[in-house]
Amino acid sequence: MRTLTLNNGVEIPQIGFGTAAIRDWQIDDSYVTDTILKAMAVGYRHFDTASVYGNERALGRAIKQSGIDRHELFIVSKVWDTEQGSETTAAFERSLERLELEYLDMYLVHWPVPAYTRETWQAMEALYDDKKIRALGLSNFRKSDIEQLATFAQVRPTYNQLEIHPYFSQKELVAYCQFHEMAVGCWSPLGTGGWSDVKTEEKPVTDPAVREIAEKHGVNAGQVILMWDIQQGRIVIPKSETMEHIAGNFDLFGFELSDDDLQTIDGLNRDRRLGGDPDTVHEQNLQVKVPD
């Protein structure tokens, strides 16, 4: 299994399994648990959830039912906008309770809310010092948000999870994070899932250039995009619900993209977000409740 070593020495599997909107948004049932168990059977050990996904209990059930030793798993959750600031510690404890775990491998600030960042981060640092979290990280943080954090953080962030795909590569922000020894994770690495209103023909997996590279290597377009990230040192957390795609997204062996392939995919960037924009999404996020 490919792993990266974070700046605090913790190892993270480079291929994770995303759990947002399995079957649908904020669903927490046996279908979600069974989907996660399929991923575990394939070999995934890194699972990415969040309080707002509303399915932490389903992941907790899968962990229990799998029989996999807890130390073999890398479990990530996130604190939502409405839980930041003085609510952060309680929100973390609720996530831990829903997951039925004693600690998290990583806890992320889901979206930047600059007015609350100091209080949120300091609460997370206390949990880190108490060994309740093995690594602290960020999600969707811009350069300005990271600079703000740097003025008071006692514990350095290890990770920034961003929307990254061939149509939105965020090269400047990725380079900034990597220069400051923060691992970069890619959410919706294939260009958003079925939960979104993005048409299939507008997603990078259908791009003719990607398909041509896939045909050359005898793999599918999704595998090409994930390998584009992997070979450039990024973490990927694709989500799928069919065994074919769950297995295909994990089976990134037996081929390697050439420098020309990487440059071709780099050249597809359109600066086109398919998900939320941290400049504007906060007001909308405040309307989204975290389920009990």
Binding residues: 110
Residue from 87, 155, 146 nearest 116 by CA: 87
Cβ atoms within 10 Å, residue 114? 13
Cβ atoms within 10 Å, residue 100? 13
For residue 165, report the phi and psi dihedrals to the nearest 5 degrees. Answer: -155, 170
Residue of 44, 53, 107, 116 marked catalytic: 53
* Residue 31 appears among annotated catalytic residues: no
Residue 88, CB-side half-sphere exposure with 13 Å CA sphere? 22
Cβ atoms within 10 Å, residue 164? 25
Q: DSSP letters along 255-289, please?
A: ----HHHHHHHHTT-----SS--TTT-HHHHTTSP
What's the CA gap between 212 and 228, in Å, rounded? 14
Which DSSP helix (H) or strand (E) runs through 223?
Answer: helix 221-230
Handedness of CA 81, 47, 10, 158 (dihedral sign): negative
Indicate the annotated binding residues for substrate.
110
What's the CA gap between 162 and 189, in Å, rounded? 9
* Catalytically active residues, by annotation: 53
